[in-house]
Amino acid sequence: MSEHGDVDKRTVAERAGDAYAPTVFSRSQLIRKGLTGRRIAAAVARSDLLHIRRDRYALPTAPSDVVTAVRIGGRVSCLSLLVAMGVFVHRSRGLHVLVTPGSSRLRLPKNSTTVLHWRVRSSVDGCLHAAPIVDAVAHSVFCQSPRETLATLDSILHHALMTFDELAQLFESLPTRFRPLLALVDPSAASGPETYMRLILRAMGVSYETQVYLEGVGYVDFVVDGWLIIECDSKEFHEGWEKQVQDRARDVAAARLGYVTVRPLAADLLGDHTVVREALEQIIEVMGPRFTRGRRS
């Protein structure tokens, strides 16, 4: 969603590019662009530039989180930056800011819910308002539960913001307690609910495939035990009657091929997923035998 509540139709790649687009400048950078001290002062007076703090100027179009982070004395990072890019984050409270160790005169707002991150893992320091992606991802591992972290990591790889090798290298710098998560990452997950569904199926011990192509149906999120299709819908991307019509047509086409389709609600997958697991266990217990004895055995 945009700052105004509208659905953001940019791709993740576009949003990531915009997140790092130059919007904050030092005085020396502005002078290299041809401005003089007098012209900088005049631009600030006209509100063509915002003087955020000492030696930091921002375009008036800079996002509010960016302005706040730089005013504090740091850069947007962790969940705040990943959300801005369109990466899946289950929940993000407060503004996450990377502050370089040794920084002084931090200006935290009163009653602030700001989360400060001090550790820097990347030598890349070309952006004055946003942390390098490797730092933002590392910070997100510390700020989320394992299940939430996996959904974010899946999203990072799915949208090609990092490669698996880059992610593996990052995990080498993290505490050993996080290392097991790397083996569970799957870039085929196109959404957070898909990650959560995959973890439920792993816990159930059933056999499953992800992103399976079926003739006349298209790609489906999961096929369990060769006969049960699970589609993980989410409200953000599955609104409107036209989409419902398409989904129902796909379900009918799948049924003609001998598949049963279930569509758990994203709210149930992201919340108390025991309801989803119990429902799937009951479906498999009741309907599984007739399929395993039939042509799908």
Instruction: Please report which helix (H) or strand (E) contains residue 196, including its range.
Output: helix 192-204
Look up residue 294 and give its amino acid: G
So what's the pLDDT on residue 123? Answer: 62
So what's the pLDDT on residue 4? Answer: 47
So what's the pLDDT on residue 243? Answer: 76
- The Cα 247–Cα 252 span in angstroms is 9
So what's the pLDDT on residue 102? Answer: 66
Q: Are 156 and 186 within 8 A, CB to CB?
A: no
Q: The tokens of 59 are what?
A: 């375009």
Query: Mean pLDDT, consecutive 10-residue segments, the chain of 297 residues?
Result: 60 94 95 95 96 95 95 95 96 91 74 85 77 95 96 97 96 95 95 96 96 95 96 66 82 93 92 92 87 53
Strand order through the sheet with 75-76? 75-76, 96-98, 115-117
CB 174: neighbour CB atoms within 10 A?
A: 15
So what's the pLDDT on residue 124? Answer: 57
Q: Are 43 and 118 within 8 A, CB to CB?
A: no
